[in-house]
Chain A
Amino acid sequence: MSTRHDIAAPPTEGGAAPGRPAPATGPTEADRRRRARLSRRWQRDLRWSPYAFVSPFFVLFLAFGLFPLIYTGWASLHQVELTAPTDMTWVGLRNYTRIFDDEFFWNAAKNTLMIGIISTVPQLLMAMGIAHILNYKLRASTFYRVVMLAPYATSIAAASLVFVLLFGRDYGMINWALDQVGIGKVDWQNDHWASKVAVSSIIIWRWTGYNALIYLAAMQAIPQDLYESAALDGASRWQQFLHVTLPSLRPTILFTAVVSTIGASQVFGEPLLFDANKGASGGAEHQFQTLGLYLYEQGWVNQHLGRASAIAWTMFLILIVIGIVNYVISRRLRASS
């Protein structure tokens, strides 16, 4: 094994490699040829192995990520039925005009936006506050961090089913508590606003702790002397938070906002399970039907895969717009700091 190592040493660093015979002693012709072959192999290895290392990821990505995404766009221009997913008839942009004419599409878009706001904004604000507290010197800090990750370990299905019970109109824990304090019962399933709040609360519950940890990590990376000099300038704790913590956290805040926005645009399981009987329609009056649910309804309940593809592609275009906005904002941020 050791001999092989000596021979295969890189020729570029050959002079420095210890223990190899000096050229002056005159290696035989065969020896030289063998060394040349090995060094060619060495070069090939250096040159191509990086591609070999990254290619499995990209092959999988092409097959199960990029290709399906682009093919969704192609399928959106066809009529495709769920019962025969391989039969495609060209219909041009008709799928798009159909969904844009459908009031339930706009309803779903509106619901997605509202649920997105109701779930993302309080979630990130709370996460920020919790992270700030976790950044204090605390006893048993690891315990709190693990505990607030427990919702993250809970699946959408399990979480949604519990919340359905907790939000039950007649026997739910939440209405019971509201009744006790004299607010009265809320119809969490049928009321247009309350149902959106209820669905959002599932999302908030699952993700706040996770985001708090991400903020905490960013807070711990802020150099201590920034706080010290702010304290010397007479800044209060609150002012330190406003003028030191928040500005340093800007990239992280943007990152979590983007990730949460993408997540919010895809919400599916929570509203699907929130009304088990209505399923894909998202409530009796579609009051909490999201775009994800609308896609599922068109594709798998009404069996129009082409139309579902048009919805998916529309969602993709919306995300691209969000991505561009994000890029512009982050460039501004970088320019200003």
Chain B
Amino acid sequence: MTTTLTKPEDAAPPVRKSRKPRAARAGGHMHGGPIAYAILVLFSIGSLFPLVWTAIAASRDNNRLAQTPPPFWFGSNLFHNLDVAWTDANLGEAFVNTTFVAGVSALTIVFLSTIAGFAFAKLRFRGRGALMLLVIGTMMVPPQLSVIPLYMMVAKLDWTDQLQAVIFPSLVSAFGVFFMRQYLIQALPDELIEAARMDGASSWRVVWHIVFPAARPAMAVLGMLMFVQTWNDFLWPFLVLTQTGNPTVQVAVAGLGRGYTPDQSLIMAGALLGTLPLLLVFAIFGKQIVGGIMQGAVKG
């Protein structure tokens, strides 16, 4: 058993090993000059400015936001506004709801995508090519086009304002299957599977003891990407959940903007609260998420 547990750990590094020199080589032919840095700094400011200004506006009051010039620095009202927005927009409940929805959805997608991705990457079966094409085709059809029948379903099942109405449709992720397949093709050596087979391991055993350990880095990244996606999902939760019923963060924040409270600084406080958890995740795991997006992109 120890061999099957340690080998996948050895299996992961080759990917990283092959990435490192490649990155160094590709960047190696030219050093960035001052102009390159200047553009990057400008672009970074552009990326961060709206977020920083959200916090600035949230720290002011409505009167200050109705004056020119607009504020450029923080005021003293931040905690008061956060407090009021938290209560007014039902954000506490929204946070619990969204964490639950995004968590369940991300975990399920990661699990299902890993086993499906493994089958597509490493197992031979009739119809594999056609089914994989179907998965890729699915990625091209936006889920928004299906909202009407889904809405009818929800109405029929009486799921309005209930979280499962949001969870179930979010579980379909062709991207996840594709992502895990791409990763496992290179990260999981065939010999490892064969060796386990020789030892008489069943397919489930192979999945538990070889595929999951080998896929762990990619599973983590996919989980984060799916968490972000579900957390930020807007149209569907907006259709089936109401602000007073069982809102997700997006529904609650959008409700703030739609005349529920005309106070702009409160709206910004709500937007800030709704965004902060994800920014925190990105600040901590940014490197891994960047790596994951770039890894999923190659061959995309």
Contacts and interface: CB of A to CB of B under 8 A. Distances in A.
Interface of A: 4-10, 13, 16-17, 42, 45-47, 49-54, 56-58, 60-61, 63-65, 67-69, 71-72, 75, 80, 85-86, 129-130, 133-138, 141-142, 144-166, 170-173, 176, 179, 205, 209-210, 213-214, 216-222, 224, 227-228, 231, 237, 252, 255, 258, 262-263, 265-266, 268-269, 272-273, 276-277, 279, 292, 296, 299-300, 305, 308-309, 312-313, 315-316, 319, 323
Given A137-B30, A213-B294, A300-B239, A49 B204 contact: yes
Interface centre among B53, B125, B259 (most CB of A within 10 A): B125
Given A64-B169, A138-B36, A158 B275 contact: yes
B282 A153 contact: yes
A227 B36 CA distance: 19
Contact of A136 (B31, B44, B69, B279): B31
Contacts of B152: 71, 75, 80, 85-86, 305
Interface in B247-291: 249-250, 253-254, 256-259, 264, 267-268, 270-272, 274-275, 278-279, 281-283, 286-287, 289-290
Given A72-B149, A171-B67, A224-B26, A85 B36 contact: no
Given A153-B282, A165-B57, A276-B257, A220 B32 contact: no
Interface residues of B, number: 114
A279 B258 contact: yes
Given A147-B47, A171-B65, A276-B258, A161 B253 contact: yes
Contact of B141 (A69, A136, A150, A300): A69
Given A148-B44, A161-B257, A214-B294, A137 B31 contact: yes
A42 B205 CA distance: 12
Contacts of B27: 135-138, 141, 220
Nearest to B255: A157
Nearest to B66: A171
Contact of A149 (B118, B131, B289): B289
B171 A316 contact: no
B131 A54 contact: yes
Given A64-B171, A262-B140, A157 B250 contact: yes
- Dominant secondary structure of chain B at its interface with chain A: helix
A226 to B, nearest CB: 10
Nearest to A132: B36
B123 A171 contact: no
A55 B147 CA distance: 23
Contacts of B268: 161-162, 165
B212 interface: no
B47 A155 contact: no
B2 interface: no
14 contacts: A4-B200, A9-B199, A10-B197, A13-B198, A49-B123, A134-B40, A137-B27, A153-B228, A154-B275, A155-B278, A157-B271, A217-B295, A255-B300, A312-B145
Nearest to B23: A220
